[in-house]
Amino acid sequence: MKLRFLTSAVALTAMLLAGPVAAEPILIKFSHVVAENTPKGQMANKFRDLVAERLAGKVEVKVFPNSQLFGDNKVLEAMLLGDVQMAAPSLSKFSRYTNSLQLFDLPFLFNDIAAVDKFQNSAAGQKMLNSMRKKGIVGLGYLHNGMKQLSASSPLRTPADASGLKFRIMTSDVLAAQFEAVNATPLKKPFSEVFTLLQTKAIDGQENTYSNIYSKKFYEIQPYITESNHGLLDYMVVTSAEFWMDLPEDLKGEVKKALDEAIAFGNQVAMKKSIEDKQKIVDSKRSEIITLTPAERAQWVEVMKPVWKKFEKEIGADLVDAAYNSNK
Ligand code: LMR
């Protein structure tokens, strides 16, 4: 008894001498699937650095790139369970939580990133950040990567060239319909598996931006890239409603500010990379970049655009119109 009292007294004295225990910073684990040298990778690192600069000891961001922690099939579930706090999946990967974001997958909807920006910044676009609230997911902002190109093991100039080929796609029914429209077979597979699927010839092609094709070395094993600009690869930075609501207001404001700045930086990286990474692929001479004539491109538009009608009801015809009108 005496000994126990003595031990407690020693422990108490030691605690008092050590002073108040410093609170641990709030940890934001940010999980993503791409390389660090990409628009999303650079954005996440910038966010981590800005938070470290401004909120040291209060909030800490740890970034897990390259599907290190979670691949795209699991990250949203993990976020809802509190295993990660932030992610930025491509807009094609939310269909389990909302139909409306399928909008961004409609082929040939946006002419360029300026039109995408215009729509995302409109009231309708901003409202879509909240489209998964009821499912516990909060959209904090959009991030660009760029327009997608088609890479393949054989040259693709017209839709007939894609007929019978297998293409890896993200988990989106719109993207599946898009490839079915050219009589190709779409396969929904995680990003982390694409290189091996291409290398082992389990698939013939895939669609992605120049920065993903370059950073994941798809160009080294895909001899042809068709500059189709047929679709968009953009992201939504998301967190869980639970985490966001629990974050103290003053910190929330600072975290959001740092994120907005990091997104603006990531968007600049996206613009640069769409030009620079294309050039690196050209310089490598590993893959030929095919430029379509207006007549060839028109054929892709003609066969793929009917996909819009199929999904118009699920997405909302008003949203499709609003997005299309942002090209003007
Ligand atoms: C893909 O899965 O092809 C891309 O969305 C990966 C990414 O996050 O850019």
Q: Is 169 in the pocket of ligand 1 (CB under 6 A)?
A: no
Which pair of tokens denotes residue 135? 């499912």
Q: What is the pLDDT of residues 52-73, one digit of tens each?
A: 999 999 999 999 999 999 998 7
**Rounded to 5°, angle at Cα 267 from 233 and 324:** 50
- Give mean pLDDT, residues 130-145: 98
Report the atom number in ligand 1 closest to the C-alpha of 209: 9
Confidence class of residue 111 from pLDDT cuts 50, 70 and 90? very high
Let me know: does 320 contact 102? Beta carbons within 8 Å: no
Q: Give the gyration radius of the chain's Cα atoms.
A: 23
pLDDT for the residue 261: 98
Closest CA to 70 of 57, 83, 53, 59: 83
pLDDT tens, residue by residue, 195-235:
999 999 999 999 999 999 999 999 999 999 999 999 999 99
Determine if ligand 1 sits within 6 Å of the CB of residue 33: yes
Residue type, 256: K
Residue 192 confidence (pLDDT) above 80: yes
- For residue 222, the 8-state DSSP code is -
| Domain parsing of the chain, residue ranges | 2-325
CA of 292 to the centre of ligand 1 (A): 24
**Model confidence pLDDT, tens digit, residues 24-51:** 999 999 999 999 999 999 999 999 999 9
319, pLDDT greater than 60: yes
Contacts 24+ apart (CB under 8 A), 243-248: 243/82, 243/85, 244/138, 247/26
Percentage of residues of the chain with pLDDT beyond 70: 93
Name residue 288's beta-bridge partners. 224
Q: pLDDT tens digit string along 216-227?
A: 999 999 999 999
How many Cβ atoms from other residues are within 10 Å of residue 263's Cβ? 22
pLDDT at 21 (0 to 100): 62
Q: What's the pLDDT score for residue 42?
A: 98
Cα gap 43→5, rounded to integer Å? 55
Q: Are strands 205-208 and 166-169 parallel, antiparallel or unpaired?
A: parallel
- The atom of ligand 1 lying closest to the CA of 207 is 3
| Inter-residue long-range contacts of 272-276, CB under 8 Å, 24+ positions, other chains counted | 273/38, 273/39, 273/146, 273/209, 273/210, 273/211, 273/214, 274/146, 274/147, 274/209, 274/210, 274/211
Cβ(208) to ligand 1 under 6 A?
Answer: yes
Pocket flag, ligand 1, residue 212 (CB < 6 Å): yes
161-185 per-position pLDDT tens digit: 999 999 999 999 999 999 999 999 9
88 lines ligand 1 (CB under 6 A): no
3-state helix, strand, coil in the chain (%, to 5): 50, 20, 30
State the DSSP string of 15-32: HHHH-SPPPPPEEEEEE-
Task: Give the pLDDT score at 72.
Answer: 81
Does the C-beta of 94 come closer than 6 Å to ligand 1? no
From the CA of 4, how far away is ligand 1's center (Å)? 59
What pLDDT shows up at residue 4?
A: 52
pLDDT of residue 15: 52
Residue of 40, 72, 277 with the most ligand 1 atoms within 8 Å of its CB, for mutation: 72
Does 191 contact ligand 1 (Cβ within 6 A)? yes
- Residue 100 confidence class, pLDDT cut points 50, 70, 90: very high
**Res 116: pLDDT:** 98
pLDDT value of position 23: 85
Residue 3, pLDDT score: 47
Longest pairwise C-alpha distance within the chain:
94
User: Cα(209) to centroid of ligand 1, in Å?
Assistant: 9
Q: Are strands 86-87 and 224-240 parallel, antiparallel or unpaired?
A: antiparallel
Cα 211 to Cα 209: distance, rounded to the nearest angstrom: 5
Among the CATH numbers 3.40.190.170, 3.40.50.2000, 3.10.129.10, 3.40.50.2300, which is that of 2-325? 3.40.190.170
Q: Is the pTM of this model over 0.85?
A: yes
Measured in Å, residue 88 CA sits from the centre of ligand 1 at 10
Residue 136 CA to residue 130 CA, distance in Å, equals 10
**33 CA distance to ligand 1 middle (Å):** 7
Mean pLDDT throughout 105-111?
98
pLDDT at residue 1 in the model:
44
Mean pLDDT of all residues belonging to the chain:
94
Ligand 1 pocket, mutate which of 63, 76, 142, 145 (most atoms under 8 A from CB): 145
Amino acid at position 68, single letter: Q
User: Which residues lie below 8 Å from residue 284, measured CB to CB, with a gap of 6+?
Assistant: 219, 220
